[in-house]
Amino acid sequence: MNIERPQRPVIGVLWMLATGLCFVAVTGIVRYLGADLPAAQGAFIRFAFGLAFLIPALLSAFRRGFAPGAPRLFIIRGMFHTLGVVLWFFAMARIPVAEVTAIGYLNPIVVTIGAAFVFGEKLALRRILAICLAIIGALIVLRPGLRAIEPGHWSQLGAAVSFGLSYLIAKRLTQLAPASAVVAMMSLTVTVGLAPFAALVWVPVTLVQYGWLALVAAFATGGHYCMTRAFAEAPMTVTQPVTFLQLIWATALGALVFSEPVDPWVIVGGALIIGAISYMTWREAQIRRRAVTPMVGAVKF
């Protein structure tokens, strides 16, 4: 049976902001660990810790049971997310934080467009314009054609698409199960999916590395929970563009912690992104509060 929830765009945006802060913390720690551990092994340890945190939620979910169709969606999502996690860990150890974050913006683009085609969510003119401006901002940051494409970049491109497909399935799952169950089942399926790949490349792990990966798991689990709550509170076309703010935070992290140079164009592109997101979020809140039905032929803006 579907779980009906009222849509609250502002609350959804706040949950997505919390998601971004959690994932930037994850990015910083994985960047700090570097390439000392194989990508599949580091990802497996991170998800194994995350699964341990979620055992109570997992047991509760199995006791309640699942809606028809949910188990199949959990497995399919786990497959996409497993691939995305391995590719992301590989990229994070090899290219700058800001670049990983910027390329990752293909993820919300995949999700937003997919939500319109798969779930029938409306892309009103104001949303289309805001998303276009955000994409332009990302292009200003990336400046395609002026940088070398390395294996880390290709890996992050693949991760962005994989995560986008995973999150698209997550949107459907929020209608079939509580947020805690969606996050717990993702951790279970991804841990199981990563296990054979980690076993093939396993190397010794220090206690310090285990500690850092446990912290990664804590932040990542919190991020996925916040993201799932955001999906449940508002349409994905509202919540997903907010993830562009991660670029500003990731750029600051790279500069302050890892001494990565700050490109002025990153600031210009980031300002454009923030402006587009702020406008769309404000318009969504205004329109929902007034609940005015437009006249026939009126332009949605």
Which of these, 234, 229, 233, lies nearest to 179 by C-alpha position? Answer: 229
Distances (CA, A) of 80 to 60, 76, 186, 220, 280: 25, 7, 10, 17, 29
The whole-angstrom separation of Cα 202 and Cα 259 is 31
pTM above 0.75, yes or no: no
**Range among 30-39, 76-85, 107-116, 171-180 with highest mean pLDDT value:** 76-85
- Taken in order 143, 147, 149, 155, is the CA torsion positive or negative? negative
297 pLDDT band, cuts 50/70/90, is very low
* Long-range pairs for 260-268: beta carbons < 8 A, 24 or more residues apart: 260/96, 260/97, 260/98, 263/98, 263/141, 265/140, 265/141, 265/143, 266/98, 266/141, 268/137, 268/140
The whole-angstrom separation of Cα 189 and Cα 128 is 34
3's tokens: 């779980």
Report yes or no: 79 and 186 within 8 Å, Cβ to Cβ.
no
pLDDT tops 80 at residue 182: yes
Q: What is the pLDDT of residues 65-76, one digit of tens each?
A: 888 888 899 999
259's tokens: 């001494």
Report yes or no: 190 and 82 within 8 Å, Cβ to Cβ.
yes
Q: What is the pLDDT of residues 21-79, one digit of tens each?
A: 898 898 888 888 877 888 889 889 988 888 888 888 888 888 888 888 888 999 999 99
If phi > 0 it is left, if psi is from -120 to 50 it is alpha, else beta; for residue 56 that is alpha
Q: What is the pLDDT of residues 240-255, one digit of tens each?
A: 667 677 777 888 888 8
84 pLDDT band, cuts 50/70/90, is very high
The whole-angstrom separation of Cα 243 and Cα 252 is 15
Letter string b/e over residues 267-301, b meaning 16 or more CB atoms within 10 A of that residue's CB: eebbebbbebbeebbebbeeeeeeeeeeeeeeeee
pLDDT tops 60 at residue 298: no
The whole-angstrom separation of Cα 192 and Cα 110 is 26
